[in-house]
Amino acid sequence: MIAEVVINRSAKRLNRTFDYSIPKELEELVIIGSTVLVPFGKSSSLEEGYVVGIKEKTTYEVKDIVKIKHNLTEKQIELAKWMAKRYFCNISDCIKQMLTPGTKSKNADKNIQDKTINVVYLKKDLEEIDFDIETGKIKSDKQKKILQFLKSNEGVTVAEIEMFTGGTRAIIKTLEKNGYVEIIEKKIERNPLANKNIEKTENLKLTEEQQIAFDSVANTIQKNEYEQFLLYGVTGSGKTEVYLQLIGEALKRNKTAIVLVPEISLTPQMIDRFIARFNKDEIAVLHSKLSIGERYDEWNKIKEGKAKIIIGARSAIFAPTENIGIIIIDEEHDSSYKSEAVPKYDAKEIAKKIAIENNCPLVLGSATPDLNTYYKAQNKQIKLLELTKRANNSNLPTVEIVDLKMELANGNRSMLSTRLYDAIEQNLKEKKQTILFLNRRGYSTFIMCRECGYTVKCKNCNISMTYHRTENKLKCHYCGYEQDVVTVCPECHSTKIRYFGTGTQKLEQEINKLFPNATTIRMDIDTVSKKNSHEEILNKFKNENIDILIGTQMVVKGHHFPNVTLVGVIAADSSLNLDDYRANERTFQILTQVAGRAGREKLPGQVIIQTYNPENFSIVCAKEQNYEMFYNTEIALRKQLKYPPFCDIILIGFNSLVEKEIIEVSEKVYTYLKNKLEKQGFQVLRPMPSPIDKIQNRFRWRIIIKGNMTKEANEILNECLKKVYNSNYKNTRITIDVNPNNMI
C-alpha cells in the first residue's frame, strides 16, 4: 500500500503530497491522519509528515515510511484540506492546529511528579525575539530552536525543552543570562482547574425572553439538527444562563459542548460559572497561557471522552471531541476569532462547518453583534433570538458625552474632563468602584519635536516609537526594537521634544496624582504577560475592593463587578481614526461593551464618554445603547460604498527584503488577477505600499480586491499563489486574507 504524505514544512512549494510505501509491519497502524517519520530529499535526518491519503499503486519509485508517531481522524484531515484551500495555506499548517500539544515520555512524567519544578518563560516580546533571530543577533541554531518552541509553548519545564528541542540546560542558562527567558521555580499544577472550589449553583428561573431563546435552540438539540442562531441580548441580559441551560440539555442526551470565548481575560469568570453548575472533572479548558503539560492533559482528557464541556479561546474549536451537541461562540463580534497568523482562519466559519457535520446548533451570542452576522439574521439566514431586558431587572446605565474641544477651550488640559473628575471624586466618597478605559498602552503615543515636527520612528519599521515610562525607553510595538529616550531633536537640534498622546501608564500616573488616597490597578498587555495575571488582577480588583481599574480592551468585555457604578472612557476617538472601514462599528461595539460594565446589580450605573467628535453617529448610538439605530445607519453606508456584507474584501499582502523584487512580484500578481477576476465582477485595485510600508526591515506592499468570493475565485487565487512560489522570486512572501481584521 502507498501513503500520500504531506511534509511538515511551511515552504509553499512543498504544499503537495509525496508517495511513500507502507512497510508490512506498519500496514495495520498507518491510516489517514497518521503522523509519520520519512526520509526526504538529501537530508540524512527523518522528516515529519502527515498521511492524507492511501492508495494501492504509484508511478514513482518510492521510499518506505520509517516510523508512525500518532493519529488524527479522517474527519480532521478532511477539515485540514478544506482549510488549506479556503485560507490559502499549506495543509500541514492546518493539521498542526489539530495535533496534541507536546509528546509524553517517562522523563517528563517523572519530572512532573516532583513537588516543585523549574519552568521557563519568555522574557522579551515575541517581535523583539523574531527581530534578533532575523538580524543574526542570535546565531546559535539550538538557541533559535528553543525560542521558537517557547513562542508556542509558554511555561514549559527544562526537561521538556531538552526532550522536545534537543537543547541543554547550559543553552537555556545562556538565554536566561542574555535576558531572553526567565526560569521560575513553581509548584506543579497539571490540572488548571485543580484549585478551583466554587460553590454549586442551580438553574435560575428563566425570564420569558430567555425561555423562548432556550426552547428554540433546545428543540434543535433534541432533533439532532443543524441550525445557526444569533442570541442578541443587551449587556447583563443573562446570555450565559441560557448557554448553561442549553449545555445541560446537550449533556442530558450524552452529547458534548464547545464554548468559545474571545480572550484569555474572559475565561476565569466564565469558567467559575461553569464549575458552579457542572462537574469540574467534565470540563476541559484550552488557551495559550496554560503550560504545555496542562494543555497536553486537557487535550487527552477530551480525546478520551472524559471532558464533556470544552471552554477555550479560538483554537479550542479544533479540540478532538466527538458527538457534539452544541457549539456556542460568546461575544461573537470579537475580532480575536479571526486568526492573523497562518492559517488565517475564522473560528466562526470552522464552527459552522463542524456544527453541520455534527447535526447540532451553533449559537452566536453578543450585545453588539458583528454587522455581517446581524445582516444575515435580518435576511433569515440565521435565526434571531432577542433578550431586550437585563436579567436581574437592573436598569441600563445613564450615558453622558463630554466634548473635549469645550474642555480645551475652558483651559482644562488634563486627561480628565471636569465632569469625569467630579464623578470619580463622588464615587470614591460613596465607596463605589470605577473603571477607566483607554485603548492605548504605554505612557505616551509618540514623541515629537515642537520646533520642526520631527517624530521619533523605529529604525526598522516606518512607525512612531511609543514611550514607556517604567523602563524610560522608546519601544516599537511592531518589531520590539527599543532605544533610549531622545532629548535633543536629531534634525534641528532643538530641545523642545515633547510627549504627545496618552497611554494607560500615563493615565495611571495622573490618577494617582489627582486622587492620592485612591487605590488603583492597571490591566493592559504590559501587566498581564505572566501566567494567570489576568485572573489575579480581576480578583484583586473585585475582592480587595480597589477603587479604580485602569485598562485597555481587556477590561471591557464580559466581566461582572457588582460594585462598579462608574465607567469613564478617556478617548473615544482612538478607534475612530483607524484606516479601516469598520472603524465606526468597532467604536460603537467597544463603547457599548464598556458601558455594560456599570450598574450591573441594583446600584444605578453611570458612563462618561470623552470625545472630540460628540456628533459622530457611532458615539451617539452608543450613548443611547441603541444597536438598531447604529445598524440601520452603518448598513446604508456599507451598501453605498460596497463594503461587507455586500461584498468580500480580499487583501493580498507582500513582504520582501528586496524592494525591486516586491514591486515586480506585486505587478505580475496584479496583472494576472485583473485578467482573471474582473471578468467575474471583481474590482482589483493596483498594488500599493501598505500603510506601514516597512516592518523588521522587510518592505510591505498590498493589493486589495473587492467582490463576492466564489469557488472559482478561490481556485484562481490558489493557482496564482502556486505560480508565484514556483517562480524564481526567493525574497518575497505572499499571504492572502479574506475579510481581514487588520488592513495595515
> Furthest-apart CA pair in the chain: how many Å?
86
What does the alpha-carbon distance between residue 559 and residue 244 come to, in Å, rounded to a whole number?
A: 17
Q: Tell me, what's the pLDDT at 114?
A: 37
pLDDT of 107 over the 50 cut = no
pLDDT of 559 over the 90 cut = no
- Angle between helix 239-252 and helix 267-277 axes, rounded to 10 deg: 50
Q: Tell me, what's the pLDDT at 78?
A: 95
Burial of residue 13 (number of CB atoms within 10 Å: 0-12, 13-18, 19+): exposed
pTM of the predicted structure, to 2 decimals: 0.80
What does the alpha-carbon distance between residue 87 and residue 140 come to, in Å, rounded to a whole number?
A: 33
Q: Which residues of 66-83 are buried (b: 16+ CB within 10 A; e: fewer)?
A: eebeebbeebbbebbbeb
Percentages helix, strand, coil for the chain (3-state, rounded to 5) are 35, 25, 40
CATH number at residue 40: 3.40.1440.60
**495 and 538 share one domain:** no
Q: Which positions ≥6 away from 235 have C-beta within 8 Å?
A: 367, 390, 396, 592, 593, 595, 596, 597, 600
Q: Are the CB atoms for 215 and 246 separated by under 8 Å?
A: no
What does the alpha-carbon distance between residue 358 and residue 370 come to, in Å, rounded to a whole number?
A: 25
Residues, the chain: 744
How many independent structural domains does the chain possess? 6
**274 and 129 share one domain:** no
**331 and 240 share one domain:** yes
Q: Are the CB atoms for 621 and 627 separated by under 8 Å?
A: yes
Q: Are the CB atoms for 193 and 199 separated by under 8 Å?
A: no
Q: Worst-scoring range by mean pLDDT, 400-409, 459-468, 507-516?
A: 459-468
Cell triple for 577: 481614526
Selection from 330, 232, 212, 336 nearest residue 631 by Cα: 232
**508 and 602 share one domain:** yes
**407 and 369 share one domain:** no
Residue 70's pLDDT band, with cuts at 50, 70 and 90, is: confident
524-547 average pLDDT score: 76
Q: What is the pLDDT of residues 427-473, one digit of tens each?
A: 999 999 999 998 765 444 667 777 777 888 888 766 678 777 767 88
- Helix, strand or coil for residue 244? helix
What does the alpha-carbon distance between residue 225 and residue 706 come to, in Å, rounded to a whole number?
A: 34
What does the alpha-carbon distance between residue 231 and residue 211 come to, in Å, rounded to a whole number?
A: 12
Q: Are the CB atoms for 375 and 341 separated by under 8 Å?
A: no
Residue 203 located in a structural domain: no
Of 638, 669, 689, the position where a domain reaches its end is: 638
53-71 average pLDDT score: 92
Cell triple for 525: 498587555
The DSSP code for 21 is E
Residue 194 located in a structural domain: no
Residue 105 located in a structural domain: no
Q: Tell me, what's the pLDDT at 292?
A: 79
Give me the domain span that covers residue 32: 2-96
Q: Tell me, what's the pLDDT at 573?
A: 77
Q: Which residues of 670-696 are buried (b: 16+ CB within 10 A; e: fewer)?
A: bebbbebbeeeebebeebebbeebbbb
Cell triple for 84: 488549506
**144 and 230 share one domain:** no
Burial of residue 354 (number of CB atoms within 10 Å: 0-12, 13-18, 19+): buried
What does the alpha-carbon distance between residue 289 and residue 149 come to, in Å, rounded to a whole number?
A: 14
- Angle between helix 371-378 and helix 627-641 axes, rounded to 10 deg: 90
Output the average pLDDT for the chain.
87
CATH number at residue 598: 3.40.50.300
Which residues, listed in sequence order, are joined to residue 464 by a DSSP beta bridge? 457
What does the alpha-carbon distance between residue 334 and residue 604 come to, in Å, rounded to a whole number?
A: 27
Cell triple for 339: 486568526
Q: Tell me, what's the pLDDT at 108?
A: 38
Q: Tell me, what's the pLDDT at 730?
A: 84
**374 and 235 share one domain:** yes
CATH number at residue 691: 3.30.70.600
User: Is the four-CA dihedral 202, 206, 210, 215 of positive or negative sign?
Assistant: positive
149-172 average pLDDT score: 85
229-252 average pLDDT score: 94
Selection from 368, 332, 369, 378 nearest residue 351 by Cα: 332
Residue 744 located in a structural domain: no
Q: What is the pLDDT of residues 166-183, one digit of tens each?
A: 889 899 999 999 999 998
Residue 109 located in a structural domain: no
pLDDT of 356 over the 90 cut = yes
**450 and 560 share one domain:** no
Q: What is the pLDDT of residues 649-708, one digit of tens each?
A: 999 999 999 999 999 999 999 999 999 999 999 999 999 988 778 888 899 999 999 999
Residue 598's pLDDT band, with cuts at 50, 70 and 90, is: confident
Cell triple for 569: 472612557
User: Is the four-CA dihedral 99, 105, 110, 116 of positive or negative sign?
Assistant: negative
Query: Which region, left, alpha or beta, applies to residue 681 given φ > 0 means left and ψ of -120 to 50 means alpha?
Result: left
Percentage of the chain lying above the pLDDT 70 cut: 90
Q: What is the pLDDT of residues 204-236, one digit of tens each?
A: 999 999 999 999 999 999 999 999 999 999 877
What does the alpha-carbon distance between residue 227 and residue 361 come to, in Å, rounded to a whole number?
A: 5
- Is the link from the previous residue into 343 a cis peptide, with omega within 30 of 0? yes
What does the alpha-carbon distance between residue 58 and residue 60 come to, in Å, rounded to a whole number?
A: 5
Of 43, 62, 96, the position where a domain reaches its end is: 96
Residue 200 located in a structural domain: no
**659 and 633 share one domain:** no
pLDDT of 147 over the 60 cut = yes
**634 and 663 share one domain:** no
What does the alpha-carbon distance between residue 732 and residue 658 come to, in Å, rounded to a whole number?
A: 8
What end-to-end distance do the CA atoms of the chain give, in Å? 48
Please name the helix (run of DSSP H) or strand (run of DSSP E) that holds residue 504, with its range, or none: helix 504-514
**32 and 62 share one domain:** yes
**219 and 244 share one domain:** yes
Q: How far is CA 448 from CA 452, 483, 487, 510, in A?
A: 9, 15, 10, 21
Q: Are the CB atoms for 388 and 234 separated by under 8 Å?
A: yes
253 phi and psi, to 5 degrees? -95, 20
Residue 494 located in a structural domain: yes
pLDDT of 252 over the 70 cut = yes
Of 638, 669, 684, the position where a domain reaches its end is: 638
Residue 107 located in a structural domain: no
84-99 average pLDDT score: 93
Q: Are the CB atoms for 320 and 98 separated by under 8 Å?
A: yes
328 phi and psi, to 5 degrees? -120, 130
Q: How far is CA 31 from CA 7, 22, 51, 70, 466, in A?
A: 16, 10, 7, 10, 52
Q: Tell me, what's the pLDDT at 417?
A: 95
